[in-house]
Amino acid sequence: MLNILSLNSGSSSCKAQLYEMPSQRVLCSAVFERIGLSEGIAKLSFNNQTLTLNQDFKTHHDAILTLLNNLIQNKIIESYDDISAVGHRVVHGGEKYSKSVIIDQKVVTDILALSALAPLHNPANHLGIMVTSELIPNATQVAVFDTAFHQTLKPQVYLYPIPRSFYQKHKVRKYGFHGTSHRYVSARALEALDNPQAKIIVCHLGNGASLAAIDAGKCVNTSMGFTPLAGIMMGTRSGDIDPSIIPFVQKALHLNSDDALEVFNKESGLLGVSGISSDMRDIQKAMDEGHPDAILAIDMYVERIGMLIASYIAQLKGCDAIVFTAGVGENATFIRERVIAYLTPVFNVKIDTQLNKKRGEFLDLTLDGSSMKVYVIPTNEELMIALDTYQLIA
């Protein structure tokens, strides 16, 4: 048995799960928020209880040290050396990494170099690596890249119709994100279908959202692009828009480029259209009350998802299963129903609307006579990280 820590370090947050492998038993889950800010908070769950800490965590070092000490105090581990490896979520692996790797100095250097492509994420991911390397020096450190799963895209898919020098000199191309989730969920779908050659479309619908077209376990297209701003409409992100809108808005509102991007990343999407919230629960409530902008936001959201699924069915030359996952995909039952209703007239895909009222669990929603399966499969990126880490060290 090996204890493996899955770690997702953000700029002011840190999420962790400690697994006993290969049994996949979760020994502890932890979330630290507002690191480096006032009014920090942490929640640690273990032994069927949850411990809440309201205290300031000045650095990620403080947060991770607090986690490790609580693991010892609550007799989950006896010493830091009981953790055999730490698997780190790393958002951007560029073109260099198509699979998870054991971290050495070259990998660390590459992660930092790729910060230009993911300035909000890679530096924070690197910080988590540095802290755990210091605190748990005998543990093997592993990098699991969000972009790796999408490295099977063909050039006609990942290249943009812009001057080739942009790619050749600056690596401007589609990378795709949420890869760890897409890989985990599609693998579960292949198992459910009992067909390793199946064609699957995964809809990872959370506050950030992306779709992936997957053929026999390999990604052939995905909706996010050079950055996570591309693709479908999201909680606060616009998704795909005419690029001329950005300089137009800059001039009209007297914004610099960073401020303009802030608008399209954090003030657009469901929030921007509804004027209410980026949270689907709030928008659904307003929609049910007849709020016209909430109704419009949902119509736009469903339209964009439905159109992209249809295009992926064409690209895959068929589809064996559509899968919904992540916060909205697993819990917003009305979104699932409306997306499938959008597709039904052309693709004859049918779901059990009564069964669809369930949420947050594995569901086969398919009705007899449907042209393809429809699943709800809860994602588990932390487990995927632990599995990759275990395979590299076992």
Q: Residue 38 pLDDT > 90, yes or no? A: no
Which residue out of 146, 215, 320, 388 is catalytically annotated? 146
Domain annotation for the chain: domains and CATH numbers? 2-145 (3.30.420.40), 194-381 (3.30.420.40)
Specify the higher pLDDT residue, 39 or 138.
Answer: 138
- List Cα–Cα distances, 371 to 219, 320, 337, 374, in angstroms: 22, 8, 16, 10
Dist CA 53 CA 58 (whole Å): 14
In the chain, which ranges are E strands? Answer: 2-9, 13-21, 25-33, 41-46, 49-54, 83-90, 101-102, 140-145, 199-205, 209-215, 218-222, 321-325, 363-364, 373-376
Dist CA 217 CA 214 (whole Å): 6
In this prediction, what percent of the chain has a pLDDT beyond 90?
Answer: 91
Yes or no: say if 339 and 302 are a contact pair by the CB < 8 Å rule.
yes
- Give the count of beta carbons closer than 10 Å to the beta carbon of residue 244: 8
Active site residue 259: no
* pLDDT tens-digit series, residues 268-314: 999 999 999 999 999 999 999 999 999 999 999 999 999 999 999 99
By three-state DSSP, how is residue 287 classified?
Answer: helix
Yes or no: say if 263 and 281 are a contact pair by the CB < 8 Å rule.
no
* pLDDT tens-digit series, residues 137-156: 999 999 999 999 999 999 99
Dist CA 52 CA 43 (whole Å): 5
Task: Give the pTM.
Answer: 0.93
Largest CA distance in the chain: 61
Q: What is the mean pLDDT of residues 246-254?
A: 96
Instruction: Give me the chain's average pLDDT, please.
Output: 95
- Give the count of beta carbons closer than 10 Å to the beta carbon of residue 196: 10
- Sheet containing 373-376, strands listed edge to edge, beginning at the edge strand earlier in sequence: 218-222, 209-215, 199-205, 321-325, 373-376, 363-364
What are the structure tokens assigned to 221, written together?
Answer: 């297209």
pLDDT of the residue at 351: 98
* pLDDT tens-digit series, residues 124-137: 899 999 999 999 99
Dist CA 123 CA 11 (whole Å): 8
* pLDDT tens-digit series, residues 314-370: 999 999 999 999 999 999 999 999 999 999 999 999 999 999 999 989 999 999 999
The terminus-to-terminus CA distance of the chain in angstroms comes to: 10
Cα 317 to the chain's mean position, in Å? 26
Q: Residue 384 pLDDT > 90, yes or no? A: yes
Dist CA 283 CA 261 (whole Å): 24
